[in-house]
Amino acid sequence: MTMTSEARLLEAALAWISGDPDPVTRDALQGMVDAEDIEGLDLAMGEALAFGTAGIRGEVGPGSGRMNRAMVIKTTAGLARYLHDQGRDTGPVVVGFDARPSSRQFAEDAVGVLAAAGIAVRYFSEVAPTPIVAFAAIQMNAEAAVVVTASHNPPADNGYKVYSANAAQIIPPEDADIAAAISGIGPANAIALVEDAFAATHELIEQIDESLYDDYYRAVDETRPSPQSSDLTFVYTPMHGVGGRVLEEMFTRAGHTGLTPVSSQFEPDGTFPTVSFPNPEEEGALDLALELASETQADAVLANDPDADRLAAAVPHEGEWRLLSGNELGALLGDYVLRSWNHGETPIVANSIVSSPILQRLAARYGAHHEVTLTGFKWIANAALALESGGVGRFAFGFEEALGYTIGRTVRDKDGLSAALVFSDLVTEEHRAGRSVLDRLVDIWAATGLWVSAQHSIVRPGPAGQSAIADAVSQLGDQPPTEVGDYEVTDVVDYRIGADERPPWLGAQQLIELQLGDSGRVLVRPSGTEPKLKVYVDLSGEVGSDPHRAHRDLSDAASELAVGVGESLGL
């Protein structure tokens, strides 16, 4: 007799319950079984969270398809087994966590499992920004690092991010090897664990000293292209995240005295009471900061996401607040770093493939080495390390259009804290010259051509949606158009093939690039974390006599083209 899908769900749920050490999630899942809540069981047990290059991330709740203590314990046991197998169990593993309600317990479980497995652990006893944990991994020569964070995901989520021995996020094949180790782990309640690890006296568990923050502040200060101090007003929100106190101290030490926090969003609070989606890219997320900026006639608005690895910014323009796109911030920071470069080595700059080509143009202007990588800062960091070890030069700057930036070699990941300080230096420098950062952006356009970017996403959830998205990408690659909108397609790059002819940080992926000659390009790819097909458009044009009007007009054209390409894919 063939077991029905409902019977399989019930059987899987009972098996998970028997191995769950947490009475809260165990009772919640048992309640679904008792109520024969098939819909709830399908969400909890239908598809297990999969460990990958971003670790694991998902909604907090019971079952194998949710983030919970059992999932964290099993994942950490798999990581410990992998480190043992690799002979990497002598050095420490660094563990940090954000302010979400479950994060401290998850981090304590991770510490307890690692120590019980005979692996030394250095942990943050209080919430810590992701860039600080990444910095600690370098400073302590860690064999791995774990950050319990869901970054800018919705309030119901949490996650578990892993860094490798090089202090960059894991990449293939390490992610698959760790996943394989996790798959061989038995029930969570059978895994050895040091209970109450944060309070325990254990020879392998050590709290990270606060002096590490001083080391970070000094390291950031050394990477600032042109250190400034000012009394300009910078309205700032950490969006209920963990960056507030750190950024406040950084600004105080730098002599920027005008930092003005959004008080209702300053203290860490993982329930996010004033925002429904704590992502600075989301519409409405910066409303309170922009209101305060208008009231105080601020010089700029700064925002970190909840784990402080991203930066958003806005500046006044024509009586309104002008949000800078991730690509525009990337151009401004990249230009600032390169024109202030004072090291003997050739500067290395990099951006993800879906980010604007403008950094490549700037690199050519300043004699820098430029690289394009796969999406994800792990690729930028690993490319930088490989290029440096190959004698190409010294890493200077990297960015992703999704508000991610790193300046210098302080961390091997994106860092919204140091980026905020350096951007404030740039605002100050321009202000002293009687200019704004938008004036500087116009200068960059004059040198590289006017570049604008637009995105369009098509959501198709479920297995059928994933299949349809994959089919759309394949059809576009196999039968590319000769024109899109008013633009001729001059060439097509299919990143599904030819990986052996590209560097490892630009390997095979489901991505099609339609080149539009000097006018720009269109990129089409599935999202790596959501059930979406994403269309990216980068267009280039003339600056003209009214650069900001030209920017608006070209941006409208890019948005129309992105939507048009999306509609043409038949989803």
How many angstroms separate the CA atoms of 214 and 209, rounded?
A: 10
Mutual angle of helices 416-432 and 211-223, in 10-degree steps? 40
Q: Which two tokens stand for residue 134?
A: 């990444």
3-state secondary structure of 62: coil
Provide the residue type at 161 as one letter: K
Catalytic residue among 64, 102, 151, 230: 151
- What would the 3-class secondary structure string for 463-525 be? HHHHHHHHHHHHHHHHCCCCEECCEECCEEEECCCCHHHCCHHHCCCCCEEEECHHHEEEEEE
Q: How buried is 195 (Cβ within 10 angstroms: 0-12 exposed, 13-18 middle, 19+ buried)?
A: exposed
User: Reading across the β-sheet that carries 404-407, which strands appear in turn?
Assistant: 369-373, 347-352, 394-400, 404-407
Provide the residue type at 252 as one letter: T
Chain centroid to Cα 145, Å, comes to 16
For the chain, counts of helices (H) and of strands (E): 17, 22
Q: Is residue 177 a contact partner of residue 84, using CB atoms and an 8 Å limit?
A: no
Using alpha carbons, select from 143, 152, 144, 108 the residue that is nearest to residue 127: 108
Residue 151 among the catalytic residues: yes
Give me the active site residues, please.
151
